[in-house]
Amino acid sequence: MKLKNLLLAAALFSLAGCSQAGQNAAQGGDNTNSGGRGTGSYTAQSAGDNRKLNATETPRLKAGAEQVHRQPQPLSLADLHQKYKSTFLFNGPASLREVALTFDDVPDNEFTPQVLDVLKAYGVRATFFVVGNRAEAHPDIVRRIAAEGHVLGNHSYDHPNLPKMSDDVFHDQVKRTGDILANITGIHTRLFRPPYGNIDEDQIKWLASQQYHVINWNVDSLDWKGLNADQVATNVLSHVNPGSIVLQHGAGGTGEDLSGTVKALPTIIERLQARGIKLVTIPELLQIPAGL
Ligand SMILES: [Zn+2]
């Protein structure tokens, strides 16, 4: 009985090792953001085919681990949306004439205050997805967002591409930013938006276990390309429908110009309101809790 358990444990261990190596290889081996499991095994396997093996080492398979070739392709974002309908959301109900404006990568001290000024002038409330290290740099702007009645969401600590990360580093990205927001505002947000909209199945399942909703979008302003106000307004207004979640950016890094998205905002708000659409926050649109 004891021997049987040992054999089972050994089999499980080797399976887990293979799977990790395969995953890293499939992702191109980019471990720059990863500090957790997987890094060691990949580095060891990357040492090259031609080096001389020690007597105790087992030669690697020339074309990579079995899993690289045999595992089914990961689910696409659309597949994941279908599979996790109540957790991973792209839009709200079309039955209500409501749309949610969302602003990512906040805060900065240049564009975020301008976005807030426009929203205030129109009495519109929106949802802001916060990058943790930017919140640490500008806590006063985060306080202003909350004080003016907007909703805050978690957008990771430093905006990595999440599917490439180890579990530990991914969890830290979420928890750290959640703690920063809670310290500044007293609110434990339950909204998470993955950087670039990219996320994998295990990460969605973990966020669900932490009572997070994962919020993507179905209307992209493409404002990050530095478009002018007319282009941003056209991108939004030609695709928006009742229930839409609109993506804009409310802060930029060095050299990023978001003046087009700020200038487009009055047009977007006025045209949508003229269509009888009410602008609401994500928790209002989706009827989910904003925080704890
Ligand atoms: Zn972002």
> For residues 4 and 196, which has the higher predicted lDDT (pLDDT)?
196
Which of the following is catalytic: 81, 104, 159, 223? 104
| Tens-digit pLDDT profile for residues 173-197 | 999 999 999 999 999 999 999 999 9
Cα 287 to ligand 1 centre (Å): 23
Which residues, 6+ apart, have CB-to-CB distance to 186 below 8 Å? none
Which of the following is catalytic: 81, 138, 150, 249? 249
How much is the average pLDDT of 244-254?
Answer: 94
Structural domain boundaries in the chain: 2-70, 78-286
Which of 13-17, 62-66, 138-142 is least confident? 13-17
The answer on pLDDT for 42 being more than 50 is: no
Per-residue pLDDT at 25: 33
What is 78-286's CATH number, 3.60.20.10, 3.40.630.10, 3.20.20.370, 3.40.50.880?
3.20.20.370
| Tens-digit pLDDT profile for residues 114-173 | 999 999 999 999 999 999 999 999 999 999 999 999 999 999 999 999 998 999 999 999
Cα 263 to ligand 1 centre (Å): 20
Contact in structure between 122 and 150 (CB atoms under 8 Å): no
Q: What share of the chain is helix, strand, coil (3-state, %, to 5)?
A: 45, 15, 40
How much is the average pLDDT of 220-249?
Answer: 96
Q: Is 249 a catalytic residue?
A: yes
Q: Is 171 a catalytic residue?
A: no
278: three-class secondary structure by DSSP: strand
Which residues, 6+ apart, have CB-to-CB distance to 66 below 8 Å? 18, 22
| Tens-digit pLDDT profile for residues 86-117 | 999 999 999 999 999 999 999 999 999 999 99
Beta bridge partners of 242: none
Cα 188 to ligand 1 centre (Å): 20
